[in-house]
């Protein structure tokens, strides 16, 4: 069994819970209120900004030039996606890029990104890849599952979102990350593997919490 497969088995109940989450189900069948989707997109834009920093840290820690270049490209692509969100949804909701990027981070989003940035600051390339892997992998699974069970019609309100995360191009990102995790796990020590397991499971939990945050339109209590 590959190490990435082992990681997914560790987090299997968490992943299964995500596919059953009401936000994901409503997103797939098009019944999700636009208010909740807008909340989600604005929080996701803030999340992507920090995810790009995580990938940039991976480029610094990468043990070889090819991996460093790929991490740098992932950081660049993440920023491009973030900007496209600003342009497309910003126009739709009559919000400037500045307005979108200054929306306060919700508690869950803040905690999740601090978790990732903490690993990025002190971790190896393998740990950095693992902490970001659930984001790429879970979205690929969610996108493909929703597309399979409920193919969106042309008038589906969230068709563009579904087609992006069910695309072969997006699937390739998580395949590369899994490949690197499996490669680097072969030479990782017992303690590093333990940290990789912990980071993966925690990120998987935060992924479920991100859906929950958006479904409840979470705010700071005080």
- Helices 107-122 & 34-61, crossing angle to 10 degrees? 10
Q: Write down the pTM of the prediction.
A: 0.95
- Nearest CA-CA partner of 210 in 11, 8, 13, 39: 39
Q: Please tell me the predicted confidence (pLDDT) of residue 99.
A: 85
Q: Does domain 3-216 have CATH number 1.20.910.10?
A: yes
- Residue 190, pLDDT score: 97
Q: Given this model, what pLDDT does residue 85 score?
A: 75
Q: What is the DSSP string of 145-162?
A: HHHHHSPPPTT-TTHHHH
What is the rounded CA–CA span in Å between residue 86 and residue 53?
Answer: 18
Res 176: pLDDT: 98
Q: Give the whole-angstrom CA distance, residue 26 versus residue 97.
A: 27
Specify whether 135 is catalytic: yes
172, 207, 212, 219: the catalytic one is 207
Whole-number pLDDT of residue 163: 87
What DSSP assignment string belongs to 120-149?
Answer: HHH--HHHHHHHHHHHHHHHHHHHHHHHHH
Q: DSSP strand E in 87-201: where? A: none
Q: What pLDDT sits at residue 209?
A: 98
- Residue 6 has a pLDDT of 98
Residue 140 among the catalytic residues: no
CB 166 within 8 A of CB 144: yes
Per-residue pLDDT tens, the chain, 222 aa: give them.
999 999 999 999 999 999 999 999 999 999 999 999 999 999 998 999 999 999 999 999 999 999 999 999 999 999 988 788 778 888 889 888 788 888 999 999 999 999 999 999 999 999 999 999 999 999 999 989 988 887 888 899 998 888 888 888 889 999 999 999 999 999 999 999 999 999 999 999 999 999 999 999 999 999
Orientation angle between helical segments 168-185 and 65-93, nearest 10 degrees = 140
Per domain, the residue ranges of the chain are 3-216
Catalytic residue among 34, 135, 212, 218: 135
pLDDT at 101: 82
């Amino acid at each position: 069994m590959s190490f990435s497969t082992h990681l997914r088995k560790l987090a299997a109940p968490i992943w299964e819970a995500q596919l059953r989450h009401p936000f994901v189900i409503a997103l797939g069948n098009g019944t999700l209120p636009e208010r909740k989707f807008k909340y989600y997109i604005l929080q996701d834009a803030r999340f992507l900004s920090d995810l790009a920093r995580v990938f940039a840290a991976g480029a610094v820690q990468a043990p070889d030039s090819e991996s460093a270049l790929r991490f740098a490209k992932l950081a660049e692509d993440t920023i491009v996606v973030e900007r496209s969100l600003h342009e497309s949804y910003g126009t739709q909701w009559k919000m400037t890029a500045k307005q979108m990027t200054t929306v306060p981070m919700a508690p869950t989003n803040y905690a999740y990104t601090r978790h990732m940035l903490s690993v990025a600051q002190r971790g190896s390339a393998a740990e950095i890849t693992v902490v970001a892997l659930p984001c790429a992998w879970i979205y690929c699974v969610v996108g493909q599952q929703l597309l399979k069970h409920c193919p969106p019609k042309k008038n589906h309100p969230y068709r563009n979102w579904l087609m992006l995360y069910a695309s072969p191009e997006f699937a390739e990102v998580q395949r590369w990350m899994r490949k690197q995790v499996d490669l680097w796990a072969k030479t990782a020590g017992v303690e590093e593997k333990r940290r990789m397991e912990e980071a993966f499971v925690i990120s998987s939990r935060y992924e479920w919490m991100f859906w929950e945050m958006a479904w409840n339109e979470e705010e700071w209590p005080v």
